[in-house]
A and B are shown apart, each in its own frame.
Chain A
Amino acid sequence: MVESITSHSQQGLRDWLLQRLTAIVTAVYLVVLLYFVCRHQPLSFEVWQAWCMQTWVQVLSSLAIASILLHARIGLWIVLTDYVKPYAMRILLQGFVMLALLGCFIWGLEIIWRGG
């Protein structure tokens, strides 16, 4: 058994896979969104709201926001462990990132499912 020095759990492969999966989900969402917006120029409030409030769009949006935040969590974890050496500082920053992302997730879901 190789001793892990970068993390306590064997999370490397899982994170690697998750990073790519979430990237693909986000990209799909962005393409769908871009396609819709381009097809309905100039965009009116009624059309925009009606589109966003469809169940499949709400589900896709929810998947996208979850993906973006998971993706950001992994990405920022990598960046922070690479560049922030002092342990306390890193933990503090990682905690801040986690809270910010969790907050964005809840806020995002609220917007998606309640409409604004």
Chain B
Amino acid sequence: MSDQKRPVYLNLLQVKLPLVAMVSIAHRMSGILLFLLLPWALWLFHLSLASYDDFQHVCVLMAQPLHKFIALLMLASLVYHLLSGLRHMLLDFVIGESKCVAHVCAKVVVGLSLVIILVLGSYLW
């Protein structure tokens, strides 16, 4: 290695990440969140099909703030993960090769996610 004197100390708190990086990291975080919430969704899915009474129980549960909050969290993660995933695919297929397009694309993903999450969220609440 020729550049052994390169600085190795990086203050992560002072590194300002570009929007594109934030979008990418948020994609990962929403993915992890979805993985963690999967058993909760399966549990509700199970209850909703188990019997008439259990189905009614799901309706009651969904009216409680805690479960409503988890549902919204999962919905938001899902919408965001889907849209930023589409962005990944667009980038794969050449469209977002240039830095400028990738940046605009990232903005669109964030904006569109917020709109959809707000619409679906207000509908669900």
Chain A residues with CB under 8 Å of B82's CB are 27, 30
Q: Report the minimum CB–CB distance from B54 to chain A (whole Å).
A: 7
Task: Determine chain A's interface SS by DSSP, over half rule.
Answer: helix
**Does residue B9 face the partner (Cβ distance < 8 Å to A)?**
no
Closest to A16 in B: B92
Say yes or no: A79-B49 contact (C-beta < 8 A), given A72-B38, A104-B38, A111-B42: no
Interface members, chain B 45-70 (any A CB < 8 Å): 45-52, 54-56
Say yes or no: A79-B32 contact (C-beta < 8 A), given A27-B82, A107-B42: yes
Interface members, chain B 9-35 (any A CB < 8 Å): 28, 31-32, 34-35
Say yes or no: A48-B31 contact (C-beta < 8 A), given A27-B82, A107-B42: no
The CB with the most chain B CB atoms within 10 A, among A20, A75, A100, A104, is that of A75
CA distance A79 to B85 in the complex (A): 15
Chain B residues with CB under 8 Å of A76's CB are 31-32, 35
Task: Determine chain B's interface SS by DSSP, over half rule.
Answer: helix
CA distance A12 to B38 in the complex (A): 26
User: Footprint of A on B, CB under 8 Å?
Assistant: 28, 31-32, 34-35, 38-39, 42, 45-52, 54-56, 78, 82, 85, 89, 92
22 interchain pairs (CB within 8 A)?
A20-B92, A30-B78, A45-B55, A45-B56, A48-B48, A48-B49, A48-B55, A49-B49, A72-B34, A75-B28, A76-B35, A79-B31, A79-B32, A100-B39, A104-B38, A104-B42, A107-B42, A108-B42, A108-B45, A111-B46, A116-B46, A116-B54
